Structure 1
Amino acid sequence: MRASNRSAVAVLVAVTLASLTLLPLTSDTSYIPLALVVTFAIALVGAVVRRLGLGNGVVLGVQSAVLVVFVLGIALSLGGAESNLLGQIGGLYSSAAEHMRTQAAPMPPHPGVKLLLVTAVGVVAVLTDVLVEGIERPAWAIAPPLTLYLVPALGLAEDLSWWPFVLLAVGYAVVLLNEGLTAADRWPRAVGSPDHPQSDQGTHLGYAARAAAMVTVPVLVASVLLGAALPLPGQPGWGVGAGRGADGPLQMTDPTLDLKRNLTQPEDYTVLTYQSDAPSGSYLRMASLPVFNEAGWQSSGISLQPGSTLPPPPGLTTDPARERTTTIQVGDFRSEYLPLPYAPRSFEAPGEWAHDDVSLMVLGTGDNRGEATRNLTYTVRSVDIEPDGARLSAAEAGMPVDANLTAALPPDLPPEIIDLTLEVTGDADTPALKAAAIQAFLRSSEFTYSTDQAQGTTYEQLADFLVRDRRGYCEQFAGAMAVMARVVGIPSRVAVGFLPGSRTGAGWEVGVRDMHAWPELYFEGEGWVRFEPTPSLVTGNAPPWTIEGTDPGGTSTDEGADPSSEPVPSESVPTVDTPSPTPSESSSAPAAEGSTIPWGRLGAGVGIFAGVLALMAVPALVRLRRRRVRLDLSGEMHDRVERAWAELRDTSVDLGRPWPEGSPRTIGQTVASGLEPGPARALTAVAQLVERSRYARSLDSHANVTGLAREVLDGMTRHLTWDSKLLALVWPRSLFTGPAPRLPERFRVWERFRVWERLPGRHR
């Protein structure tokens, strides 16, 4: 097979395997045959155009045109709302970005995502072909496929297995194997020696396989070691460190992704049922989002603790309203978060679980924690947080242990949000009354509940929701109230979970559309208190302790209220005449914005970056080791002379300079003509020693061969630029394109790295 054809096959295999690393992102595998076709077309076109003798620029242009035509054809077949083709493609890409932003992995099928994935694979195929054949840098061919691998490796928070990296490594090994065979083909087949007869293609294949293994095996070993120290998100360590165990940092998925998807399900269906010894239903809380910045409400790094007994509710100094026992049966609902009434005290659930002492979240820590709740039955013992209205009205805004996150007000928060908050709360004189005013404002007729809005709580989205269109769903209502609470100095966070659901004969049924978000505000002595700013037709009445004018002694019958019940008349903005707060009063929250370091993804990024560096460093390390062995002062004079000569030849090849044919004396004279006088004389002396070593009966010399060789090497590299030296170090061409001489027995252990040592023509 011609070298160009073989390279095309290597590119096809490498890119096809790399395209499979995207499978964790989507449940739609129909992109794979399309990606295979476009990769095959690009590789075939490259091989054909090169066989016609056209330049690399023409090859790149034709391949790019093939990719564009293919993308246009797919876009036509997928259809779209736009009338023109370019608008249709833009619409597909735009909808793909929104789909990927709002859907949890593996994403459901989407035409725009399919087009985007196929386009990405096609671009990677073109770039890989350019590196392998266009500029003849096959060692760099790992970079384009690596970008495909990095998308799920860094974008997913869990369930990234080991097999995508193996596919990537196998594809790279195929590229190196092809380069080895190509290098072997460059050497004359008719040249041989009694000790090293003419080699056949099978021998070349064996040496090429050793070359590929020389690079890929150390990288795979390094990856395993890196995986032990820096496990990827969602993956356990290899027996070292905490990994995903119950004691240590854990990277969590974003619960708001499931929130929007479940609220917009075309058909509501039951995801869980529960029975309780309390007379009313309960909000089932799953996750807590304490961090707020320009990207919206987010989770933070947490430290999980083992055991099924949780600490008392943070900040609660009074006796809880009641204790209850709840038995929950989950159906086909998959999550790493365990739905629990707030505040849980203990639970009994099969599987591996751990809890966070600050947020009282319980998360799965097993191998398949993304499906930890599926078909699960468990029991929870909890206490209800139902503050006395009068006591809450007089309570101060407290300072929780995570106030650096939950009380931080971003300094770049849009001023229109701040101004609106101060206007809404201007007549309220205590933190709780300010919170009640914010809730009443959001539940008023000025706002419209709609799931047509995009998922998210960024600055721009919240400003649009509060000041302009005033349309959104529970995520925007909860996020807006939590932000406004921080403006007036009340620590806040957003909780995600389920509404109480509908009462049945034996208990309560919770549907997929009952997934919900609500704010939790922190008050001195009361701890974290639930508020409900989402309109009443969706959630029923707000909790009585959050409504000014409600009887303080009233009970929390609202938890199980029928969603169709009407709001209580007292739900209105407080009218107490209170002076507007001064800027100092409204900025009592810490000014520093809370921030957390995503250790899981950071560790994954560092691990992958270190793996790439290790991959790039292998050829350089092998080459440096070879140089040290060759310039060793030990051994017989014959061996030292041959080793020094081989090192001079390989260094010349590494620097991109031709090593002429002919006798050692002729080679020495030719190469010395390009050196300064000192290195030129040293090279001539080495060439003479090589001739005497090979053709004289004896070599009676005490010359410092190593010193002479080092002087020549210094002369070869003295005037090179730093980038030329770096290229020669990172990509030593002699490892793949030049033969290495046979060493004495004491050095034979390194012969396994001299891939081309036995090829014909090794004695030049």
Structure 2
Amino acid sequence: MRLTIASGVAAFTAAILLYPLFQGGAWFWTSLGAVLAVVAAGLVSSRLSLPAWAAPLLGVAATWIYLTVAFTAEQAWALLVPTKESVVELARLVTVGWADIQRFAAPVPDTEGITLLTAGGVALIAIAVDLLAARARRAALAGLPLLALATVPATILADPISWPAFIVAALGFVSLLIADGRERVGHWGRAVLVRRTRAATSPAPRGSADTSGLRLSGKRIGFAAIALAVSLPALLPAMEPVSFFTFGVGGRGSGPGNSISIPNPIAGLRGQLDLPEQRTVLTYTNNDDTPRYLRIYALDTFDGQQFGMTQPKGAPQNRTENGLLPAPPGLSQKPKVNSVITNIQISDEIAGLQFLPLPYPPREIRVDGDWRADVDTLMVFSTREEAGGIEYEVQTTEPEPTPDLLDELELAPRPATDDRFLDLPDNLSPEIRVLANEIVGGASTNYEAAVKIQEFFTKTGGFSYTLRTQGHSNSALRDFLIRDRAGYCEQFAASMAVLARLVGIPSRVAIGYTGGTKIGDRWQVSTSDSHSWPELYFEGVGWLPFEPTPSGAAGQGSARAPEYSLPRPTATASTTAPTPGATSSSADEPQDPAARRNPRELDREGTVAAGGLPPDDSMPLIGKIGIGAAALLLVLLIPAGMRLVSRNRRVRSLGFKVAQPADDLTARIVSGRGAGSVVAAVWAELDDVLCDYGMARQSSETARALARRLTQQYEFDADSAAAMAAIASAVERVLFAKDPGPIEPMKKDLRAVRQALAATVSRGRRVRAVLLPPSTLRRLRFLGERLLDGFDLLENIRLRRTAAQKGG
């Protein structure tokens, strides 16, 4: 019963390591109840003397009943007994909890589903610990499931595990080991001590076994292990956490650090457009000094009333610090691609923004913090950082399509597009469907249809820009397109995206900022530059922005339609098509190229021309891997290096003193001086050679007996036998003769004996003797035992009162 309770304590103390993953404390108390249920089941199993295999089954049943009471009591019979309804509800909560785990980033809210999964997982760990420790009597192996609990926060969180929580968990495991030791000794098991102590040799009370010596050894080992576990990681390089569970981001979370906070983009856009005064949002420069749309959100779902955003997912491999972002969807090698580098500075007044305003499509970003890219949309976001006040640099690879290229790509077979970019509600007004067909009538390609739809809003449809209208309902969309034809950028963008979907063009709505106004050497983007525009998908070039909002509108003066989205010119023009997403502005007047150059780009002109970011001073990944492998190899070769050094010192007979004598005989030889130093070096080296080859000398074996045994057992030839006899004779003279006389150089004798011994063992044994010599490991073990002996002082420390204190 003691082991069952200790197993529960160890499991729960290990579960404390999970606390950084949660916001509230519901998981803590629920997990405690689950562990108590498992402990109760274990006590019943011990009381009834059930077989070992039955205890886990009883533990699972107790956990099931506990979870039923805690989460689905209303569906259970008598609030306790599981029913079909309670099982279905538990399954639903498990599904919801798993979805929440994928959706939120740590620390997650303790929802019912997440709490259920946590309590159930901790209970399973407790069952496994009880099975190994109390049933199979393998308490040491019980550390493996406990380690699984520590692995979860270690692989999810960037911060290291809290050392106080680790110490609590380690003490729980040590208490389990101590309980197992006392259980064994209590049943007259054999106590194996590191060394004997007075407490271990003193008589024990009648009828009980003395466990004090074992307890001292257990404390010694436990404290040493905990101290090393806490201090050793500080000497090791930090490792990148890898999330085995792909903790993503969520929807509307409760704040930074929980999930990505996604405000209503439409409401935020309308609020910024309605502000009575302009405020600077950001400034930027780029190497071609051309204004560009800066996208923040990509809205891809339409419910009939307004566009919404699918929750972005950012895997660890898509962090901006890892280098290139995922490739832009749909972009092939056919269109010409411009590489542009943009430096962006966000205003300090911006608060709560966890997405980066970026030109599309970004390929590489240099920014401080944990920022990640969504694979589908290339939105860049963070679950921990905010964009306010930061500065970052982004490289974009912008396609430069032409009408002819878009028509050509239209003829190629198109792969299936995600359905969400074409989905429309069934109750969409038939009048809107008829209007879409009327607008694109006569268009032979999707590109031509897209141009006609944009021209409908900007020229032929008679639309006007105003902020007075609002509404997102189905009827509001119909009124905007058919009757009122007045609105602001959100209505224009959403309406064009809907019409594009009606004619089979995948579309989405982007929200961000237009290119802003040139002030000095930087482009300045203010709140009045908030904008929304549609993005349409064309296989081969990917997502392209269009501009249905009428130009020249108040507050939208920097909004301009890309060149490729305009109707084909009737005459050949000498102008060059601008980069997609680039805008022109009245503020962008012709200037001297030298005056328009960003000073920060002067020292990296060659890099920009090559289409890449400035050289990264950090070491490439392959270099880091190589250094890590070399460091690991050096660590593994430490024993071999120590062995090589000791052998060279001994062979040179430089008065070597053995660091840790193997036994009394070696110690007596080493204690000699003068001629005995040579014999000491030879004897110590011979002792290590025997240990490395698995032929260790018996502690009671004399030098002559050892020479006789080795010569006969391994059938030495005449030279090897004479060399071994010479070494044994020299040892006896140093030990027993009053005057040992001159000692001849014994280097050749030692080499002959070593070669004779090596010839009797396998090649694998010889390789091990060189790379991982047991003699060196033996010395390291002796050093560890001395270190552990130091913990004995903890048992002998007593506070003594001084005479002054006694008199006081």
Give TM-score scaled by structure 1 length.
0.45
Higher relative contact order (CA 8 A, sep 6+): 1
Give TM-score scaled by structure 2 length.
0.43
Which has the larger Rg? 2
